[in-house]
């Protein structure tokens, strides 16, 4: 269990390490996780550009409100700034803290209390990123329409699939599990549910 300065238990410290396979890289992260006191560690051995990260998905599925996700450096968490922002937003919404062991942003960030500002900024950046993507997409579609072209990517989630997803979510199934079963990303599923709300 991790504890606050008052000694009150706040949940488990869960480690996530992403390694390229080099022995030194693996050992540095392993030692840091052990020193931090992680009760369980999940791992992915792959490039950050690889979209499939079963270790990270397993860690997110395993964690509960009050737990803390521990990473060696913030860049171990995601493949890109957008990816890190999306994960930070999910952690915040689930009441899970983040602890970065080394690097410029080393420290503990809780969705409540002192670390709330970090999550507020991360969520704000994620929203800004989404708004910019929507704006660029809209501008591109408008330009194409002006030139007589129509189209865009067909939706991957129909109304029927969205109804099923909402029902599964209402029964307590995780967004990760629903997205996997439907063959879409968590971000796509979140976006469709948010748009329909």
Q: CA nearest 34: which of 15, 59, 10? A: 15
Q: How far is CA 1 from CA 9, 36, 96, 99, 160, in A?
A: 6, 11, 13, 14, 42
Task: Determine which one of 6, 20, 47, 196 is catalytic.
Answer: 20
Task: Give the containing element (helix H, strand E) for 109.
Answer: strand 107-109
Give alpha helix (H) positions in 38-185.
54-62, 81-93, 116-146, 159-170, 175-182
Q: Which residues pair with 44 in a beta bridge?
A: 18
Asked if 20 is an active-site residue, the reply is yes
Question: How far apart, in whole angstroms, are the C-alpha atoms of residue 86 and residue 99?
Answer: 16
Phi-psi region of 20 (alpha: psi -120 to 50; beta: other; left: phi over 0): alpha
**Residues carrying an active site annotation:** 20
């Amino acid at each position: 269990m991790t504890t606050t300065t008052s000694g009150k238990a706040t949940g488990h410290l869960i480690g996530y390490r992403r390694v390229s396979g080099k022995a030194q890289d693996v050992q540095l992260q392993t030692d840091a996780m052990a020193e931090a006191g992680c009760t369980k560690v999940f791992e992915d051995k792959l490039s950050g550009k690889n979209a499939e990260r079963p270790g990270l998905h397993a860690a997110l599925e395993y964690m509960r409100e009050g737990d803390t996700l521990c990473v060696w450096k913030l860049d171990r968490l995601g493949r890109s700034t957008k990816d890190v922002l999306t994960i930070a937003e999910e952690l915040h919404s689930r009441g899970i803290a983040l602890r970065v062991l080394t690097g410029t942003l080393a420290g503990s960030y809780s969705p409540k209390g002192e670390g709330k500002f970090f999550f507020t900024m991360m969520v704000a950046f994620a929203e800004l990123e989404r708004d910019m993507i929507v704006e660029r997409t809209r501008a591109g579609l408008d330009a194409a329409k002006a030139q007589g072209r129509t189209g865009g990517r067909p939706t991957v989630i129909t109304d029927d699939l969205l109804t099923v997803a909402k029902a599964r979510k209402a029964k307590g199934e995780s967004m990760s599990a629903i997205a996997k079963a439907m063959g879409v990303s968590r971000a796509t599923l979140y976006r469709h549910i948010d748009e329909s709300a």
